[in-house]
A and B are shown apart, each in its own frame.
Chain A
Amino acid sequence: MPITRDDVRRVAQLARLRLTPAEEERLTADLGHILDHFARLQALDTRDVPPMAVVEDFGALLRPDAVRNPPASDELLANAPAREGRRFRVPKIIE
């Protein structure tokens, strides 16, 4: 199943990846090549096969409703690229 350059652009947008034209070209080729290999899965009859939901189902883990975390220290914000007081600063969304 060939993937087009437009597909690559659309997917890059969804993934918020800015690609150079060279990257776009390379990816179109690579992904097409890889997806060709994946096409073999279509040959398998999986009509009555359930998708593997979990590797081992030992029942959902449930946590009692209790506050266990203390108020956050500055440590949790220390990796912030940009801050204004205790808030994270980001450029505005331009529509």
Chain B
Amino acid sequence: MTRPPMEAVIGLEVHAELLTESKIFCACSAAFGADPNTSVCPVCLGLPGVLPVLNERVVDFAILAGLATHCTIAEHSRFARKNYFYPDLPKGYQISMYELPLCVGGHLDVLVDGTTRRIGLTRIHMEEDTGKNVHDGETSLVDFNRSGVPLLEIVSEPDMRTVAEAGAYLRTLRSILQYLEICDGNMEEGSFRCDANVSVRPVGATTFGTKVEIKNMNSFRAVEKAIAYEIARQTDVLAEGGTLAQETRLWDADREETRSMRSKEYAHDYRYFPEPDLLPLVVDPERVAHVRARLPELPGARRERFVREYGLSPYDADVLTQRKDVADYYEAGVAEGAAPKEMANWVMTELLRIVREEKLDRALVIREWPLTPLQLARLAKLVDAGTINRNTAKGLLPRLRRTGQDPEALVAAEGLAQVSDRGALEAAVADAVAKNPKQVAQYRGGKTQVLGFLVGQVMKATGGKANPQLVQELLRAALGG
């Protein structure tokens, strides 16, 4: 029996920790890393008699996120209680939003394999984070520093069909939140969390298959692997005539598989009802306009502009606009006169390499660069003008970084300018040809790649300073081929 071709239906639910000073409902610090149970107060500990008071910056951040994703900002929204018992949930309910969220009906345009796909966004709402449970043998230890940290819950429509789309959606969303400077998007540290809803169905079907929720994915790669695994698992089960349970499964990063959470004793009935301790939230058009004025140019728009204005490939523009600070850096360099493509090259190959290696990208905004945009731009210009060759330039990077010197000054001071004088080089070329008859014969015999060796000989003889393109040109002429 032939299997009908199946397609995956993927929805993603992201929880983003917001970068406010204080928690959502109390004036405790929301900063990460304090000693256990020091950033707590009666309110976020859920002591008897306490009441929540809403942090206005959380509302503004939520509006920013909604506007950046083309949502409608609801004029009337309401917090609601989600009731369940867990040790890290101090009140026995989480203050979230249910029937009346703040933002609805947006979308994200994501670039996947060169094409743009529009992924719908169902809703964005505000809620409070829980504390942290740490297992310790036969007991658990609970720290409530994180209890009450503001979260945005961002729910996508089940519009994704491939792992690549899911990955691109996540990266795009994170990028947007970073541009807005409302979340640092760190999956490993837990400030950006993702749950996935995965189902499969025959291609062309209009109804949905059994939906499985996947949790416990702690990196972008884990999300991609988990979704891929789950699609395959579901497809196999159905192909063998089995049925799928609507359940929650956990990603096991060690075994690289999803496992069913052993069935909970009690099904979750959250008994949502409107939070009586908080009045309905009214966000009027003035507030929205005020927040809208603070929207920066968003990654998608910036990427398109880079393609248009700088003639970059969509791929390169995408890499350069993933982070706002990198995009700002790039444009600063171009403003200093570097050729756009050269600057792109230098930023992508050299700058970002250092950034990744030294984990500078952990910060929401990189403020201390290994080289300044001016330095890198001038270096790029020197190479572009043929004053030094690329190798020489690369070699200068550590020194430029250490000293903060202007590359032009350094090159001039040390006479590093490459030799582009034909006359001077002709002698060196003739010399190399004379000293390497075997390779010359090979080249003339058709083995053209041996030219590289001869170029290398000339470079050595000139202390690396010869202009390699010119050397190549002269060698070819000398060898008559």
Contact = CB atoms under 8 A, between A and B. Distances in A.
Direct contact, A vs B (beta carbon within 8 Å): yes
Given A61-B279, A90-B142, A91-B138, A66 B27 contact: yes
B284 to A, nearest CB: 10
Nearest to B20: A65
A77 interface: yes
Contact of A92 (B28, B45, B139, B282): B139
A88 interface: yes
A65 B136 contact: no
A93 B36 contact: no
15 contacts: A13-B266, A60-B54, A60-B280, A60-B281, A61-B53, A66-B22, A67-B21, A71-B34, A71-B39, A72-B40, A86-B37, A87-B141, A89-B142, A92-B139, A93-B140
B139 A91 contact: yes
A61 B282 CA distance: 11
A69 B279 contact: no
B41 A65 contact: no
A66 B240 CA distance: 58
Contacts of A14: 266, 269, 271
Given A53-B78, A57-B280, A60-B280, A13 B265 contact: yes
Given A53-B78, A60-B279, A90-B87, A68 B140 contact: no
Interface residues of A, number: 33
Contacts of A54: 276, 279-280
A92 B271 contact: no
A87 B281 contact: no
Interface string B78-91: 10000001010000
Nearest to A85: B36
B57 interface: yes
Contact of B140 (A61, A66, A85, A92): A92
A11 B194 CA distance: 31
A16 interface: yes
Contacts of A60: 54, 278-282
A17 B266 CA distance: 13
Interface of A: 13-14, 16, 53-54, 57-69, 71-72, 76-77, 84-93, 95
A69 B141 contact: no
Given A63-B55, A67-B27, A86-B35, 16 more contacts: A13-B265, A53-B280, A60-B278, A62-B56, A63-B22, A64-B56, A65-B21, A69-B29, A69-B41, A84-B136, A84-B139, A86-B143, A88-B141, A88-B144, A89-B139, A92-B137
Interface in B127-178: 134-144
Given A14-B271, A76-B40, A76-B45, A65 B54 contact: no
Contacts of B398: none
B123 to A, nearest CB: 19
Contacts of B35: 71, 86
Interface string B18-31: 00111000111100
B279 A58 contact: yes
Nearest to A15: B85
B27 A68 contact: yes
Contacts of A68: 22, 27
Contacts of A88: 37, 87, 141-142, 144
A11 B29 CA distance: 37
Contact of A67 (B28, B87, B271): B28
